[in-house]
Structure 1
Amino acid sequence: MSLAAAAVLEYDYLIVGGGAAGLSLAYHIAQEPRLADKKVLLIEPEAKTQNDRTWSVWADEPGVFDGIVAHEWRKIAFRSPGFERVIDLGRYRYKTINGLDYYRFVHQALAENPQFTLVQAQVTNLKNTKRIGTRAVTSAGEFTARYAFDSRPPNLTQLRQPDKHRYLLQHFVGWEIETEADVFDPTTVEFMDFRGEQQHEARFIYVLPFTARKALVEYTLFSETVLPKAEYEAAIREYLNNTLGLKSYRITAEEVGAIPMTDHPLPARVGQHIVNLGTRGGRAKPSTGYAFKRIQQHSARLVAALATTGHPPADTTGDKWQFKLFDTLLLDIMQRRGESTRDIFRQLFERNPVERIFRFLDEQTSWADNLRVMNSVAPGPFMRSIGQVLRGRPGQRQ
């Protein structure tokens, strides 16, 4: 991978952004022999030198980035008042990848590939052109390409239409801690611990135990606005002190994030030659916030079409309308009565095998299994949200 000079240069593909989505597409292109003659420009505003996030996935088959998985688990725990269960994942595994490991791995692969060029710059304008395809105006000059793939975060503040769509966040603060005694079960992810006060929202503790003495402990909410940081930290301390009985521990790292969860239509492409990636292209699952696996599937779909036809697929995502509706209904419930989310997830985990839940969240279930999932939860909240959808108005808390 080379560094480009600030000039008007022409490439086959231009990738804007070097986060999860941009690097995923670059890596998939690098692994496709049929695209070995394509020149690819990756534009990233800043070097990725920090472990700024982790990504977790459940999977029942090998993944592209299994070689850098930091840890994997065979069991998850779900906990809420009146119902707790530790669930064996069967053929599934729950896996976590550290951001810095991911950045280094992909950049190393690209550095060894002469078809890739890296520019560290801000993109100020990206548009379709008649003659070439796309043109990017950046702080390092102008660049043209046949196709551009844009992974910059969408500006939902400007796009908001609260009378038509639902806008929530999955927001969290996490501490990676170390203890002096064995505290955690390193075989089991605390997937959702809803036993704390909900405060009219969906609030839970999430724990990734790496060893008996080391874990990432997060306080996570589904709601419209973020909290003062001290409130997340107080909830984590409450869990560590009162649930786990910890008197002393050492905080070794911190993770803070806010993932958009919305049914606002995020376009899969802009014009003929610009394809949106990541959150900008709707790859964060609206009802859960999980994105990493969806990003990999999107990258594979795009690269397969580019290698076969020379063009992105007409349907760039392959999303199915019924799952968009399911997401909208759950978002509406979260917006109207966020505390009822706990009961919905409790019913899901109490009345369905985990394989069905994972397939449903991966949007891979049949109509028969979709009906089984919907019949496993109380119909009242969903019927009210169906009414809101039919009226074309998001539900509001009364």
Structure 2
Amino acid sequence: AHGRTRVLSARWVFDSRPPGSLPAARTTLLQHFHGWFVRTARPVFDTAAVELMDFRTPQPAHGLSFGYVLPTSPCEALVEYTEFSAHPLTPDGYEAAVSHYADDVLRLGERQVLARETGVITMTDAPVPRQTGASVFRIGAAGGATRPATGYTFAGLQRQTRAVADALRRGRYPAPPAAHPLRSRLMDAVLLRALDSGRVDGPELFSRLFARVPMARLLRFLDGDTRPHEDLSIGLRTPVGPMLRSALELPRLPRRPFDLPTAPATGHLPPTETA
């Protein structure tokens, strides 16, 4: 407080700050997003339904994009535009993308933007170290809790924190465990390569999975909670040829460093418009 410096001592340190750089990876994409918290003049949102991946957005030349809608009332919701690609957009580009989705796709009509949020999630097959000192650990997104192919972080973070709390309670070494199984991370590396190379069409792939795989099983798969035979059955519902080609070439691909973009952190910004 008040700009003063304080020195703290602790037996253990768990560091969730975003790293300044990433280890070298074979594939690195960014899941970057921009959203509006909107209030509409008429009730247009179904509070019993959430739109998670709406591919009625213009697709970029590299990667994929989608919109999603999280309603909090019939007249209020978070309306978001998301891309999986190598580079973030400009602020004007994000605004134009969300405006197109809200006005031309969802047709919200008269609406007020109450606040905005924006952010970037790194999706990489780089090995993320979870320990940086004898008593210093990385945790959360900084410690590999983000699922490389989906961006899922919260469930992985909860697994890490439960394990750390249990170790501390029992007086054991509280190193955070891997948030996602090795098998899941290997499958993610294949999917990232297939998307980055353009061998698979992202919207078509995800639409096929949601249409052909039972929802409960698919959600467990996205969270890394399926068994090998379930993973195989889901894999057979993807474009098998391009996915196999991507898997076979992975061991030969070099790992290269990736410069993190300077992008605004996730947060809420003041309202600026009514339309």
1:148 aligns with 2:13: yes
Deviations for 1:37-73, whole angstroms, at most 9, x for unmatched residues? xxxxxxxxxxxxxxxxxxxxxxxxxxxxxxxxxxxxx
Moved over 3 A (4+): none
Instruction: Name the SS of the counterpart of 1:172 in structure 2.
Output: strand
Unaligned stretches of 5+ residues in structure 2 = 257-275
Q: Which residue does the alignment assign to 2:98? A: 236
Question: Aligned pair in 2 of structure 1 residues 392, 301: CA closer, same or farther (>3 Å)?
Answer: same
Instruction: Name the SS of the counterpart of 1:219 in structure 2.
Output: strand
Q: Which residue does the alignment assign to 1:185? A: 46
1:381 aligns with 2:246: no
Mapped to 1, the partners of 2:180 and 2:101 lie a distance apart of 38
Q: Which residue does the alignment assign to 2:118? A: 256
Mapped to 2, the partners of 1:239 and 1:271 lie a distance apart of 46
Q: Which residue does the alignment assign to 2:64? A: 202
Identify which of structures 1 and 2 has the higher relative contact order when contacts are C-alpha pairs closer than 8 Å and 6+ apart. 2
| Alignment partner of 1:174 out of 35, 38, 42 | 35
Q: Which amino acid aligns with 2:106?
A: L
Q: Which residue does the alignment assign to 1:43? A: none
Q: Which amino acid aligns with 2:16?
A: S
| Alignment partner of 1:323 out of 170, 184, 194 | 184
Q: Which amino acid aligns with 1:170?
A: Q
Mapped to 2, the partners of 1:197 and 1:121 lie a distance apart of 47
Mapped to 1, the partners of 2:249 and 2:210 lie a distance apart of 26
Mapped to 1, the partners of 2:81 and 2:8 lie a distance apart of 42
Deviations for 1:213-264, whole angstroms, at most 9, x for unmatched residues? 1111001001111011222222222222222333321000101111111111
Query: What's the TM-score once normalised by structure 1's chain length?
Result: 0.60
Question: Contact 1:177/1:251 (CA < 8 Å) preserved in 2?
Answer: yes
Q: Which amino acid aligns with 1:140?
A: T
Mapped to 2, the partners of 1:241 and 1:170 lie a distance apart of 23
Match runs of 1:78-227 below 5 Å: 140-156=5-21, 159=22, 161=24, 164-200=25-61, 201-227=63-89
Mapped to 2, the partners of 1:205 and 1:339 lie a distance apart of 20
Question: Aligned pair in 2 of structure 1 residues 121, 317: CA closer, same or farther (>3 Å)?
Answer: farther
Question: Contact 2:29/2:86 (CA < 8 Å) preserved in 1?
Answer: yes
Mapped to 2, the partners of 1:241 and 1:320 lie a distance apart of 41
Deviation at 1:390, TM superposition (A): 2.3
Instruction: Name the SS of the counterpart of 1:165 in structure 2.
Output: coil
Q: Which structure: greater strand fraction?
A: 1
Mapped to 2, the partners of 1:146 and 1:357 lie a distance apart of 40
Q: Which residue does the alignment assign to 2:261? A: none
Q: Which residue does the alignment assign to 2:148? A: 286
Unaligned stretches of 5+ residues in structure 1 = 1-119, 123-138
1:337 aligns with 2:202: no
Query: What's the TM-score once normalised by structure 2's chain length?
Result: 0.85
| Alignment partner of 1:366 out of 203, 221, 227 | 227
Q: Which amino acid aligns with 1:145?
A: A
Instruction: Name the SS of the counterpart of 1:302 in structure 2.
Output: helix
Question: Contact 2:65/2:83 (CA < 8 Å) preserved in 1?
Answer: yes
Instruction: Name the SS of the counterpart of 1:168 in structure 2.
Output: strand
1:267 aligns with 2:129: yes
Q: Which amino acid aligns with 1:220?
A: T
Mapped to 2, the partners of 1:370 and 1:150 lie a distance apart of 32
Deviation at 1:340, TM superposition (A): 1.1
Deviations for 1:346-369, whole angstroms, at most 9, x for unmatched residues? 111011011111111111111110
Mapped to 2, the partners of 1:141 and 1:255 lie a distance apart of 31
Question: Aligned pair in 2 of structure 1 residues 322, 121: CA closer, same or farther (>3 Å)?
Answer: farther
Mapped to 2, the partners of 1:211 and 1:320 lie a distance apart of 37
Mapped to 1, the partners of 2:19 and 2:179 lie a distance apart of 20
Q: What is the aligned-residue RMSD (CA, Å)?
A: 2.2
Q: Which residue does the alignment assign to 2:207? A: 346
Pair member with larger Rg? 1
Q: Which moved more, 1:276-285 or 1:195-204?
A: 195-204
Q: Which residue does the alignment assign to 2:165? A: 303
Corresponding residue pairs, total: 255
Instruction: Name the SS of the counterpart of 2:79 in structure 1.
Output: strand
